[in-house]
């Protein structure tokens, strides 16, 4: 099957800065993929190149099997909602009508439902909306588009925790009825972790981790307890983030732990605490993550 998004050796250079450094990813649809990483990792640049708003210095980008550059037929099957999306000088209603002309799968029924769910007034001019409401409007458009390739870049900006969960529920509900390829970038990883099938983690323009979310979740644990016992237990494993206080030590370890490992940890009076996706990412960015790659490459 043709991947919905296929990037091959993608590089983007701005003068002396390398925004993307040899990025190769294939994303099959339907799926929900998280594009994670710190500020300046290259997430937005990557999304801009996928949607042909910017061009790669080198490498190939294909969306739904073809290059999206100046291909209106493909671009109509993509929706891209940016953080702090700039909107034309319209009312909300006018904007939604305009969106319906350009997006072939547009659902005005869903758009209306979402507007009232997020309490966005449709008569209001967009420049009079609060930041949170503008984010909500972006989400309305991104979901109601039902585009085969749906990109959200930091869709949560300005949204409170309740609205974020609301967005997750609505995304999931519409996704189950209308599966599509969703690529979602965010800092708030724990908010979306459970929605993701796959995570692509970027740092300094490079992909540092690309794996099924479930593999990443189980890929590392914090082992803590008496120093000698910890050292004994983690002996042959890949470790990082070692911390020590007195004779107590905690260390992050990659790898799978089966029942016999757990029984042994218990016997050594060690506690094993799994890392959340967010914690894995914090530990993994800017570090050598060979251990994780070894665990998750398949």
Partner 1 sequence: MLDEGAPLFSQIAERLSEEIADGALPEGERVPSTNELAAYYRINPATAAKGINVLIDDGLLEKHRGIGMFVAAGARQRLLDARRKRFAERFVEPMLAEATRLGIDTDALVALIRDSIHAEGGIRV
Based on the shown chain and the rule CB under 8 A, indicate whether residue 215 belongs to the binding site for partner 1.
Answer: yes
Per the listing, tokens 């409401």 go with 133
Phi, psi of 286, deg, nearest 5? 75, 10
Based on the shown chain and the rule CB under 8 A, indicate whether residue 127 belongs to the binding site for partner 1.
Answer: no
Min dist. Cβ of residue 296 to partner 1 (A)? 12
By CB under 8 A, the residues from 218 to 247 that bind partner 1 are 218
CB 150 within 8 A of CB 79: yes
Based on the shown chain and the rule CB under 8 A, indicate whether residue 263 belongs to the binding site for partner 1.
Answer: yes
What residues have CB less than 8 Å from 184, skipping those under 6 apart?
Answer: 32, 33, 34, 35, 151, 152, 155, 192, 195, 196
Tokens of 232: 């004994």
Based on the shown chain and the rule CB under 8 A, indicate whether residue 197 belongs to the binding site for partner 1.
Answer: yes
Q: Which stretch binds partner 1 (CB under 8 A): 51-59, 67-75, 209-217, 234-242?
A: 209-217
Choice between 31 and 105, CB closer to partner 1? 31
Radius of gyration of the chain (CA): 22
By CB under 8 A, name the one of 80, 175, 233, 238 that touches partner 1: 175
Q: Mask: binding to partner 1, 6-45, rule CB under 8 A, as x and -?
A: -------------------------xx-------------
- Cα dist. 169→71, 154, 165, 179 in Å? 33, 17, 6, 14
What residues have CB less than 8 Å from 282, skipping those under 6 apart?
Answer: none
Min dist. Cβ of residue 271 to partner 1 (A)? 12
Classify strands 78-81 and 58-63 as parallel, antiparallel or unpaired: unpaired
By CB under 8 A, name the one of 39, 119, 259, 298 that touches partner 1: 259
Q: Would you call the peptide bond into 2 cis, given omega within 30 degrees of 0 as the criterion?
A: no
Choice between 32 and 95, CB closer to partner 1? 32
Packing angle of the helix pair 108-117, 131-144 (nearest 10 deg): 150
Count of residues engaged in binding partner 1, rule: CB under 8 A: 27
Choice between 59 and 218, CB closer to partner 1? 218
Based on the shown chain and the rule CB under 8 A, indicate whether residue 158 belongs to the binding site for partner 1.
Answer: no
By CB under 8 A, name the one of 160, 169, 232, 288 that touches partner 1: 169
Based on the shown chain and the rule CB under 8 A, indicate whether residue 211 belongs to the binding site for partner 1.
Answer: no
Classify strands 5-14 and 17-27 as parallel, antiparallel or unpaired: antiparallel
Q: How far apart are CA 29 and CA 65, in angstroms?
A: 12
Q: Which helix (H) or strand (E) holds 121?
A: none
Residues that bind partner 1 (CB under 8 A): 31-32, 165, 168-169, 172-173, 175-176, 194-197, 213-215, 217-218, 259, 263, 266-267, 269, 273-276
């Amino acid at each position: 099957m043709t991947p919905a998004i296929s990037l091959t050796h993608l590089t983007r250079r701005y003068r002396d800065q390398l925004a993307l450094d040899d990025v190769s990813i294939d994303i099959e649809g339907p799926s929900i993929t998280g594009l994670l990483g710190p500020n300046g990792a290259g997430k937005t640049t990557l999304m801009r190149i996928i949607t042909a708003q910017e061009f790669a210095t080198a490498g190939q980008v294909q969306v739904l099997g073809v290059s999206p550059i100046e291909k209106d037929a493909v671009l109509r099957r993509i929706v891209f909602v940016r953080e702090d999306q700039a909107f034309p000088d319209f009312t909300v209603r006018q904007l939604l009508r305009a969106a319906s002309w350009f997006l072939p799968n547009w659902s005005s029924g869903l758009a209306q439902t979402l507007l009232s769910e997020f309490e966005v007034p449709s008569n209001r001019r967009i420049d009079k909306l609060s930041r949170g409401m503008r984010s909500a409007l972006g989400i309305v458009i991104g979901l109601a588009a039902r585009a085969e390739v749906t990109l959200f870049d930091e869709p949560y900006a300005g949204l409170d925790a309740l609205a974020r969960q609301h967005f997750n529920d609505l995304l999931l509900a519409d996704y189950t009825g209308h599966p599509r390829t969703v690529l979602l970038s965010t800092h708030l990883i724990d908010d979306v972790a459970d929605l993701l099938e796959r995570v692509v983690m970027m740092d300094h323009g490079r992909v540092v981790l690309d794996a099924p979310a479930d593999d990443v979740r189980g890929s590392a644990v914090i082992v803590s307890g008496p120093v000698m016992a910890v050292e004994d237990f983690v002996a042959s494993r890949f470790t990082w983030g070692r911390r020590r206080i007195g004779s107590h030590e905690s260390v992050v370890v990659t790898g799978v732990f089966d029942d016999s490992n757990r029984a042994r940890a218990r016997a050594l009076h060690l506690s094993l605490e799994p890392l959340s996706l967010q914690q894995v990412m914090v530990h993994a960015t800017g570090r050598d993550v060979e251990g994780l790659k070894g665990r998750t490459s398949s």
